[in-house]
Amino acid sequence: MIDAHLHLEQYPVPELEELLPELPRHGVEAVVAVSMNLDSCIRTQQLAARYPQRVLPAYGYHPEQPPPGEAELAVLLAWMEEHASSMAAVGEIGLPYYRRMEAVKRGESFDMEPYIRLLDALLAFAARHRKPVVLHAVYEDALLACDLLDKHCIRDAHFHWFKGPEAAVARMIGHGYYISFTPDIVYEPEIQALARRYPPQLVMAETDGPWPFEGPFSGRRTHPAMIRDVAAAWGELRGYSADQAEHMLTANTARFYRVSALRSL
């Protein structure tokens, strides 16, 4: 299988030295490693260079942090231009739903404009280079993200760990956008309902590691092998065997991330 989304460079180095070589033993062929900012991109790129084909790198700027200044963004985009040919996708990018909600709870104002401009610039980069995008855009933010995807005529969009209103779900399905489920599909009714709703050909499995999970995963280190638990749970919800589910989710991920094309570089 392929873990469609995780923050590989955020694992401690000793864990990485153990985790990456053992992936095939756990039935994991590759991982899509997303980035948070320029420093994170550089660390992700170094891991991809050490483990070609196993680590598929995505470069971008995560929205749940202060937005970059113009100079900082220019440096990031220049670095991404330099590495555009070997990147699997632009990501993680999106809109700061949780950061905004925390500000609202504190009674503070929150300016979305810098984040919208940031996402617009990164989507323009993706469109120019014809790269898939990995999106952090949940709840009502998903509708704004869809507007920006339309603006740039981007169809290869992956909304990771998605939750959102029916209006967003219907629009995403209509555009053929992909979503991915994490291990919380095992125990979260909201996610299980979405899994029953979303077309099987537009679904992938992710861990978002090293983010920890609850339920049967409580207290365990998040490992890419947990995508097999995701596949089994999704398959049960949709009426597929675990083997069928693994095959379908892997095929979807390989198709979206153009794994065969990446291997020819």
- The reported pLDDT for the residue numbered 90 is 98
The string of DSSP codes covering 98-139 is HHHHHHHHTT-----HHHHHHHHHHHHHHHHHT--EEEE--T
- Half-sphere exposure of 263 toward its Cβ, with a 13 Å CA cutoff? 9
Q: Could you tell me the residue ranges of all domains in the chain?
A: 2-212+229-263
Q: What is the pLDDT along the chain (265 residues), one digit of tens a residue?
A: 999 999 999 999 999 999 999 999 999 999 999 999 999 999 999 999 999 999 999 999 999 999 999 999 999 999 999 999 999 999 999 999 999 999 999 999 999 999 999 999 999 999 999 999 999 999 999 999 999 999 999 999 999 999 999 999 999 999 999 999 999 999 999 999 999 999 999 999 999 999 999 999 999 999 999 999 999 999 999 999 999 999 999 999 999 999 875 443 3
Amino acid at position 191, single letter: I
Q: What are phi and psi of 144, to 5 degrees?
A: -65, -40
Range 2-212+229-263 has CATH code 3.60.15.10: no
Helix axis angle, 13-22 relative to 38-50, nearest 10°?
Answer: 40
Nearest CA-CA partner of 224 in 96, 51, 78, 82: 51
Q: How many CB atoms lie within 10 A of CB 264?
A: 6
Q: Which one-letter DSSP state was computed for residue 264?
A: T
> Residue 183: what pLDDT?
98
Tell me what pLDDT residue 260 has.
74
SS (H, E, C) 202-257: HEEECCCCCCCCCHHHCCCCCCHHHHHHHHHHHHHHHCCCHHHHHHHHHHHHHHHC
